[in-house]
Chain A
Amino acid sequence: MKFRVERDALADAVAWTAKSLPTRPSVPVLAGVLMRVSDGQLTVSGFDYEVSSQVTIGVQADSDGAALVSGRLLAEITKALPAKPAEIAAVGTHLELVCGSARFTLPTMPVEDYPTLPSMPEMAGVIDASTFAHAAAQVAIAAGRDDTIPMLTGVRMELDGTTLSLLATDRYRAAVREISWRPKDDGVNLQALVPARTLAETAKTLGPLGGDVLVALSRGGVGEGMIGFTGGSRRTTSRLLDPDFPKIRSLFPDQHNARATLSVAALTEVVKRVALVADRTTPVRLSFAEGEVVIEAGGSEDARASEAMEGEFTGEPLTVAFNPGYLLDGLSVLDAPTVFISFTTAMKPAVISPAAENGEPIPGYRYLIMPMRVGN
């Protein structure tokens, strides 16, 4: 194997693949990235039996072949290389990398020990890359992070006709995002529970590439229990979680008795400021009245903070307490100038949804947040 490649293309490819490598590989070869050259194309692959990632870039190939080297080391080296074409050659049990006047020799691992990457499930449809990235970020934020309830660490994807829904919850908040996509078959009806971290990271890296992302998911046949995403020359597959998921759509109240309309930027700023006196588990209290909301945090003995801000409010005056982190999470992914916070009562979940500058609701995204109990 011998080829020449642009430094940036190589660094991008290796960095992306190396990101999904396991930190504690059970078999040493899994810490490696596989580089394979054929037909003037370099394919860089990483796999940890859960997630596989693969990227193909064009190179000037002198001879075909494959080499397996430590992914982290190669990623760090390629990142630090000077901006010159790099020449890579497999020599015996080593990989020689020359870039400008820098020269590296890396040990290689036996290619034949490397597992075969899972094949892509059947293509289910196509979605705009940046829309997908945005939607995944909006939903993944609500997914659980601890393994006590494994299903909550996933994002549920529902492919129903031309609507693709993403749902996640950690029991304290829930997020639902509906976007339109182009299914291969308009009558499609598939569900999958994708590990939230994998989904968010994949979508985040595919988003900036632009174009479309191919979603591959099938019921039965090849790739059962897997989901695949392809964007540009990059492809990822991930094992799915057990498909059980709570019916979180029904948690969203059908109607509301009160609603606040606030500026997202102003509310975020105020909550962040007031929350400085609150630790991670103490609530911020929001007292809504006509034309104004007062945001406070802190107990009578501890440090206290309060701040008032303008805002539209319809309904009976109401005081509600939220975990500041969860509230800010919801606000941070709205990506809209205005937020609606809709209440039924102070102890029932509230719905956060985006709206345009003029108060026109922006459909598609809802973030449900459970209030906290407050003393007196």
Chain B
Amino acid sequence: MRLVIAKCSVDYVGRLTAHLPAAVRLLMVKADGSVSIHADDRAYKPLNWMSPPCRIEEAPGVWRVVNKAGEELRITLEEIFHDTSHELGLDPGLVKDGVEAHLQELLAAAPHTLGEGFTLVRREYPTAIGPVDLLCRDGAGATVAIEVKRRGEIDGVEQLTRYLDLLGRDPLLAPVSGVLAAQEIKPQARVLAQDRGIRCVVLDYNTLRGIKRDDLTLF
């Protein structure tokens, strides 16, 4: 990550043209080659930028950042105040707020939310391709694998299908049915799930947490 603070003007020549008159700005050159120009405001949106893949041609007083399509970001530097580079290393990625894990925990404590007479076998039931979020038994004692998601999308259904396929081979568990439990289930995911005989359950996080809605209800 290279940080440069400089008085510069910027011209963008591509599908459309843009010009930033000379002013002091922060230039960020990232490891993937992308360049962004920031003013001293806003949290994330640069004034102008070039997404990777692109290359920088540095000449004294002028940088040319060109991408594959031939679009060009031309930065004319009048005065450089600061220029440092830092090695940031590999980023672990954004960790979401743990709602999914919490939902899993709450459902483990209240498996009847998923269906009448459901009892928990265990959380994170191990399979050869990774753990199933929840393994339960329904009222009749049949095995049910549950995939817990914040948003139920196609990939969640695919994931559960793989687990069901694998669990179904275990004579002690088979037949195994599936439940996709999510706060919100996308229509495409619902269609796919129903087509594969997977039941969809929409979860109310607040109710599970025992947080009463503020509004009055009849019951």
| Contact of B217 with A by CB under 8 A | yes
Number of A interface residues at 8 Å Cβ cutoff, please give it.
Answer: 25
B158 nearest CB across to chain A (Å): 15
Does B215 belong to the interface (CB within 8 Å)?
yes
Q: How distant is the Cα of A251 from the Cα of B191 in the complex, in angstroms? A: 36
Closest A residue to B219 by beta carbon equals A246
Is B188 interfacial (CB 8 A cutoff)? Answer: yes
Q: Which of A271-314 contact B (CB under 8 A)?
A: none
Contact check, B218 vs A368: say whether CB atoms are below 8 A apart.
yes
Q: Who on chain A is nearest to B185 by CB?
A: A147
Q: Is the interface of B mostly helix, strand, loop or mixed?
A: mixed
Are B202 and A148 in contact, CB atoms less than 8 angstroms apart? yes
Residues on A with beta carbons closer than 8 Å to the beta carbon of B207? 148
Kindly list chain A residues whose C-beta atoms are within 8 Å of the C-beta of B216: 347, 370-373
**Can you spell out 16 A-B residue pairs with CB atoms less than 8 angstroms apart?**
A23-B187, A24-B187, A147-B200, A147-B202, A148-B204, A148-B207, A150-B202, A172-B217, A172-B218, A173-B218, A246-B219, A248-B219, A251-B219, A368-B218, A370-B217, A372-B216
A263 adjacent to chain B (CB < 8 Å): no
A67 to chain B, nearest CB (A): 25
**Contact pattern, A 160-185, Cβ under 8 Å of B = 1, otherwise 0:** 00000000010111100000000000
Which of chain A's residues have a CB closer than 8 A to the CB of B217?
Answer: 171-172, 370
Q: Is the CB of B214 within 8 A of A146?
A: no
The distance in angstroms between the C-alpha atoms of A150 and B202, with both chains bound, is: 9
Contact flag A26-B215 (CB < 8 Å), given A147-B202, A148-B204? no
Nearest-CB distance from B204 to chain A (Å)?
A: 5
B214:A24 contact, CB within 8 angstroms: no
Shortest A153–chain B CB gap in Å is 11
Q: Does A121 reach chain B (CB closer than 8 Å)?
A: no
Decide: A174 and B214 in contact? CB cutoff 8 A.
no
Task: List residues of A (136-159) whose CB comes within 8 Å of B's CBs.
Answer: 146-148, 150
Across-interface contacts of B191 in A (CB, < 8 A): 22, 24-26
Say yes or no: is B4 at the interface (Cβ < 8 Å to chain A).
no
Is B57 engaged at the interface, CB distance under 8 Å to the other chain? no
